[in-house]
Amino acid sequence: MIEIKDITKTYKSGDVEFNALNGVSFNIKDGEFVAIMGPSGSGKSTLMHILGALDNPTSGTYFLDGKDVSTLSDDELADIRKDKIGFVFQSFNLLPRTTVLRNVMLPLIYDGIETAERERRAKEALFAAGLDETHFYHLSNQLSGGQIQRVAIARALVNNPSLILADEPTGNLDSKTGEIVLGTFQRLNQEHGRTIVLITHEQYIAEHADRILFIRDGMLTENDNGHSKRVIKNN
């Protein structure tokens, strides 16, 4: 699914250059759950922006589902972000006085999908994200942090993307709630075959994935944790 070849990213400020990424290369197969782990300033956010087609590398190539993302136009990149990639962020980015169901339906409204189909797909995504139907018509500001994050996951799923990018998705949650959200990602990977890339600076969070890519000073190393997974915890 993902093939990254010798990616570099250089930022300039006047005469000063800073290399955020230095010749990064790796592959991610369809259906894998991969964590990219590194400290603040390591380059992981820059890499996530490139994976999400939010930024272009200075050099190197990025293939997503066989397409060289580095060569696409702005309109083509927008289509990839809309159709192929689902984003889950540390900040939930939901509309606070809007129902759970409508929050998840919003991307489909922008796509011009008819109401009945929007509702069907939104409910399907919410069930996949592990949210109980009793919460579908609650306002998002009436939910717990973990429930809100699962709504955000459902919104990322609703367009049936081939890739889910999760950027520090438990950063605003306590450890117990974070485990529930991480269990949701594990279920999506194991039971629904979703490809997930999880960005984190925490080892114990990264260990929920099948593979861990370590990034430091813009350079990447890899550690395979033996495909061991923590036990998925039910809420």
**Residue 151: φ, ψ to 5°:** -65, -40
C-alpha to C-alpha distance for 72 and 84, rounded to whole angstroms: 14
> Which DSSP string do the residues of 44-59 spell out, in sequence order?
HHHHHHHHTTSS--SE
C-alpha to C-alpha distance for 157 and 12, rounded to whole angstroms: 36
List strands edge to edge, sheet with 16-28.
Answer: 16-28, 2-13, 59-64, 67-68
pLDDT at 223: 59
Model pLDDT for residues 152-186, shown as the tens digit of each residue: 999 999 998 989 999 999 988 888 889 999 999 99
Neighbours of 37 (CB within 10 A): 22
**Residue 228: φ, ψ to 5°:** -80, 140
C-alpha to C-alpha distance for 213 and 157, rounded to whole angstroms: 24
Model pLDDT for residues 44-58, shown as the tens digit of each residue: 989 999 999 999 999
Model pLDDT for residues 194-228, shown as the tens digit of each residue: 999 999 999 999 999 999 999 999 999 875 444 43
Instruction: Please name which of 158, 195, 199, 210 lies closest in space to residue 2, comparing C-alpha atoms.
Output: 195
pLDDT at 93: 81
* Structural fold of domain 31-56+82-224: Rossmann fold (3.40.50)
Model pLDDT for residues 129-147, shown as the tens digit of each residue: 989 999 999 998 889 888 9
Instruction: Please name which of 191, 228, 176 lies closest in space to residue 35, comparing C-alpha atoms.
Output: 228
Beta bridge partners of 222: 213
Q: Which amino acid is at 109?
A: I
